[in-house]
């Protein structure tokens, strides 16, 4: 019995290792392609450019600067983790939340009005932003549950509706709109709506954008982890995602689960907005496309192997190279090199599912072979 247990735990480890290894491969190929593009643009500086992208804050010689930018990278990772979790929760329940950008935008409206306009306390703003994003996500859910509308398509439509809604509302509200810069005012660290630093700023060389948000996101990761690992809600969501028909036969309420999944997913997308805007490093700019972060969330969710802990690392990695990318402009490179790398990584993670499936089939075949061999021996 003990032996079987040990064998199994090693197998589990193997599966986890497999995920990590395939993700690392994706990341590596993405980086190499990025490097090739750098070479193409400026062969002389490419190596240094790549070092900057990979090094990010490490290229600073002053330890204080390093610490400061490290803190900045961490703080910017938090919203992406929230976004990845948003994608992850819906994906596990068999839905693809392509509407995360739209949900983010709706939260931005709430944060702008309550946080910037009315200067309400950060946590009230946070809760209301999450609730409204969640409600917006449930539109997709309702359309799916009652009218069988594909959530990917409705998500895309709602992204654009939310984009124009947000642009329209915010740009016409003088108390939140900084028309000189075509963006909302940023929430300053003296504002009530600013997420408190709880002393973490001192650890990171006075960088005040590091703060309670970091702790919050880790708690959320833990909650999502437990949700899927230990609770009946997670059990039901996963069952619905893996085999909706069987879940139906077992009496699991599919419609309820669609609402739960889209609701949680939307709340997390809203949290991403909270952690970006209420940390003061972003404002809503008048853009003509839905915010990128919704799509970045897809990259890091898949790169993180669709695992709550995994997305911490994948989100950090993506923010790390994106931040690094913004430092290479002096060398004549544009920062979007980082988004080439990340998009190549998501593209490749599409293949990962295939590769893992092949490995899985191979394992089953081996198992079957073993079983038939045993049977033959019995005879």
Partner 1 sequence: MIVVLSTFSFLLAYISILTISAFGGMFSEKSGTLALSLEGSMTFGAFAAGVAMHLLPATLPDALSALIVILIALISAGLFSLLLALACVTFKANQTLVGTALNILSTAIAVVLIKHITRTETLPVGNSRLNFTRFYEIFNVDMFGIQGVKFNWLILIVLVLVPIVYLLIYKTQYGLRLSACGENPSSADSLGINVNRTRYTGIVLSGLFAGLGGLLLITMNAEWEFANGANGFGYLALAVLIFGQWKPLYIFLGAFIFSIFKTLSVVYPSIDILANLGISSYFYLALPYVVCLVVLIFTSKKNAGPKTLGEPYDKGKIS
Partner 2 sequence: MKEVYAIEMLGITKKFGNILANDHIDIRLKKGHILALCGENGAGKSTIMSILFGLIEPDEGVIKKEGKVVHITNPNDATRLNIGMVHQHFKLVDTFTVLQNIILGDETLKEFNDNPNFFKKTFNYLNKHLFKIVDYKKAREEVNKIINQYDLQVDLDQKIEDISVETQQKVEIIKMLYRQNDILIFDEPTAVLTEQEIQDFLQILRNLKKEGKSIIFISHKLNEVFDVSDEITVIRKGQYIDTLKTSETTKEDISALMVGRKVNGFAIKTQIQPEEEVLRVEHLTMLDPISKKKVVNDISFNVRKGEIVTLAGIDGNGQQEVIYGITGIKKIQSGNITLGGKDISTLSIREKIKSGISHIPEDRHKHGLVLDYSIYENSVLDRYYENQFSKYLFLNDKSIKQYGDALIEKYDVRSSGDGHTIVRGLSGGNQQKIIIGREIERNQDLLIAVQPTRGLDIGAIEGIHNLLLKQRENKKAILLVSLELDQVLALSDRILLMYEGEIVGEFLPQEVSKEKLGLYMSGAKKDKVNAIKENKHE
For strands 183-184 and 177-178, give the pairing: antiparallel
The C-alpha atoms of residue 274 and residue 372 are separated, in whole angstroms, by 56
Cβ proximity to partner 2: between 18 and 238 the closer is 238
Nearer to partner 1, 299 or 315 (CB): 299
Residue 338: exposed, middle, or buried by beta-carbon count in 10 A (0-12, 13-18, 19+)?
buried
**Please, what is the minimum distance in Å from the beta carbon of residue 294 to partner 1?**
9
Question: Residue 157 binds which one of partner 1, partner 2, none, with CB within 5 to 8 A depending on kind?
Answer: partner 1
Rounded to a whole number of angstroms, the CA Rg of the chain reads 23
Q: Report the distance separating Cα 154 and Cα 23, nearest Å.
A: 30
Of 124 and 169, the one with the shorter C-beta distance to partner 1 is 169
CB of 256 to partner 2, least distance (A): 10
Partner touching 233 among partner 1, partner 2, none, CB below 5 to 8 Å by kind: partner 2
Residue 92's nearest CA partner among 247, 228, 218, 232 is 228
CA nearest neighbour of 334 among 30, 40, 73, 66: 40
How far, in Å, CA of 342 to CA of 29, rounded?
10
**Of 38 and 224, which CB lies nearer to partner 1 in the complex structure?**
38
- Return the residues of window 213-242 that contact partner 2 according to CB under 8 A: 230-233, 235, 238-239, 242
Residue 249 binds partner 2, judged by CB under 8 A: yes
Residues 210, 258 contacting (CB under 8 angstroms):
no
Any contact of residue 258 with partner 2 (CB under 8 A)?
Answer: no
In the complex, least distance from residue 296 CB atom to partner 1, rounded to whole angstroms:
8
Binding residue (CB under 8 A) for partner 2 from 81, 200, 216, 247: 247
Question: 178 in helix, strand or coil?
Answer: strand
Nearer to partner 2 by Cβ, of 248 and 336: the residue is 248
Given the rule CB under 8 A, which residues bind partner 2? 4-5, 7-8, 11-12, 230-233, 235, 238-239, 242-243, 245-253, 363-365, 367-373
């Amino acid at each position: 019995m003990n032996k079987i247990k040990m064998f199994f735990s090693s197998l589990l480890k193997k599966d986890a290792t497999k995920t990590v290894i395939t993700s690392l491969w994706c990341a590596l190929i993405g980086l190499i392609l990025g490097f090739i593009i750098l070479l193409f643009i400026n062969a002389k500086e490419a190596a240094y450019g790549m070092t900057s992208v990979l090094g990010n804050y490490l290229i600073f010689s002053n330890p204080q600067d390093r610490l400061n930018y490290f803190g900045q990278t961490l703080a910017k990772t938090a919203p992406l983790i929230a976004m990845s979790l948003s994608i992850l929760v819906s994906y596990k329940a068999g839905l693809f939340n392509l509407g995360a950008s739209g949900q983010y935008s709706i939260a931005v409206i709430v944060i702008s009005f309550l946080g910037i306009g009315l200067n309400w306390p950060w946590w009230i703003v946070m809760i209301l932003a999450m609730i409204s994003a969640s409600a917006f996500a449930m539109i997709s859910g309702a359309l799916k549950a009652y009218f069988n509308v594909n959530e990917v398509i409705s998500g895309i439509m709602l992204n654009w509706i939310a984009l124009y809604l947000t642009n329209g509302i915010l740009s016409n509200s003088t108390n939140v709109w900084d028309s000189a810069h075509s963006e909302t005012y940023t929430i300053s660290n003296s504002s009530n709506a600013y997420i408190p630093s709880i002393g973490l700023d001192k650890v990171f060389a006075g960088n005040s954008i590091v703060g309670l948000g970091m702790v919050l996101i880790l708690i959320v990761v833990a909650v999502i982890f437990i949700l899927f690992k230990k609770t009946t809600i997670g059990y039901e969501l996963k069952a619905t995602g893996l085999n909706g028909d069987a879940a139906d036969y077992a009496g699991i309420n599919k419609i309820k689960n669609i609402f739960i999944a889209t609701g949680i997913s939307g709340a997390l997308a809203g949290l991403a907005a909270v952690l970006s805007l209420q940390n003061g490093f972003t404002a809503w700019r008048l853009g003509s496309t839905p915010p990128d972060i919704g799509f970045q969330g897809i990259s890091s969710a898949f790169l993180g192997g669709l695992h709550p802990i995994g997305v911490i690392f994948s989100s950090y990695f993506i923010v790390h190279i994106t931040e690094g990318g913004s430092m290479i402009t002096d060398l004549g490179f544009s920062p979007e090199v980082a988004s080439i790398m990340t998009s190549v990584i998501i593209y490749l993670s599409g293949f990962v599912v295939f590769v893992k499936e092949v490995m899985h089939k191979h394992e089953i075949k081996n198992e079957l072979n073993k079983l038939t061999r045993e049977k033959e021996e019995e005879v």
